[in-house]
Structure 1
């Protein structure tokens, strides 16, 4: 796996907020035999992503890692997942960390499900040089109503019940995450795909980002519906809501220039974001995994999710076998 981590060092050199990414990955990296499992974080099995966010005056870097823990049984697997989270738990308040642990315990797939997939059941995220954590869990393989009930109970989201229930009844829910640094900024994200040809139910209240005037970029106009994932965000405390779209670049096959063209139709891109993304993609050790746009009252925000290039993973067989779009 060491052959696939040069992107982390590139992030540290390209963007100030990326400093410490290598150390953070070393803290969270999988500790099981890499031949015995396959990550589903990326289409080719690579176990991490770097999310580059346009933060205006600068670009922000966040690391997302699949810390795969197989375990001997259910209790051991849960314990090892919690131990992995505890390595970054100091990056949020103790009360927020407790909520994150409850979220993980309630929603992570069972030991039997995890062993059958031989893939990670949680992903962990953090900013190398700032407060805040994230936990992602897959929602696949369970009945939507069961997942909906568990999510509302585990995260205390009864005040958002109508919208969350509508998402689970209408869309194909793929994953959840909890993110934040304090209880008053913790948020739950639901990642889901819409049904083709069917209007979104009003109860979901999803606000898509707006394209600038003119015809859409050709790559976007031709994108298959499956390339787009919607993200609905709910504040754990309070009525705050948000929305985001992610576009799978495994489906689109865009280079940096084409990706920036699409993002620029949704957002005003800062020079720092464009320069940082360009520096990180200057070598042959990185690829664009996803493009993202989050709707914000002060102006929509652009994201690029980068992963190690397949060519950087050739010495790690399980990272290049059986590529599929997740």
Structure 2
């Protein structure tokens, strides 16, 4: 009998999207960002190194990297940071070993202490090939056992899990299909994710305007890429959306985006920026897998033109009130368009 390969078996249990490869015929990749508190930065880096190997590289008091982490045949760098531009800037201004004036050092320590109560630490993965993404749940488990705290641990916390899946291609019809699928399932995703109040009252995951949803979910809407980007920017000139399209659109047409939203925080990349789910890292049954399965409902709907047309027509009937009570709760009734195998 051959030796049992646990890693290969776990990978086989991790569900994959209908389209697994990019336009370059390489496995699609996904970056992951996890926000939480309760652990120091060096401890976080040590835990990830325990799971994935690699070497720790301290850039400042507020920025660490884990270099050459191993995920199967893939190697990549993880970032660990206090998620505040001010704190990172402050840390870069001084070498970690440099001596500073005592008063300034005290002030920085007080600021850091306060920030750590409300500003999350953030683990930022490299773009990981989808067949290796399952390994992140092992990292999450180790962080939880070490005392990481999620968004429900305090009223001020608003910690999220962000996923940045690479698109299978950048054709305008593909981008449009994904946007339509997401908008059609948005209310279901919000309920399914049980988005914490602390996150719902922040602007970071504001819903798309109804006028934009009506435009995109009209089956007769057939934009080219220029119009698709322009319409998005007209209705959504902001990063604060549960599905932030600005990094993708900046990758496709940088000047068109920065003419409207000139923000250095928008990093061009051929991915979505899905930021709806909570981070509930301290809860025993929480992990990446549920949010990933929910996202796969978007992937599957985007890949199925017939089902996508049907859900768009149903959404318009619901939003116009034509069907009366039949679609009274869209988050429940749109569930008939979901794949039960992913629930």
**Same fold by TM (over 0.5)?**
no
What TM-score results when the alignment is normalised by the length of structure 2? Answer: 0.25
Name the one with the larger helix percent. 2
What TM-score results when the alignment is normalised by the length of structure 1? Answer: 0.26
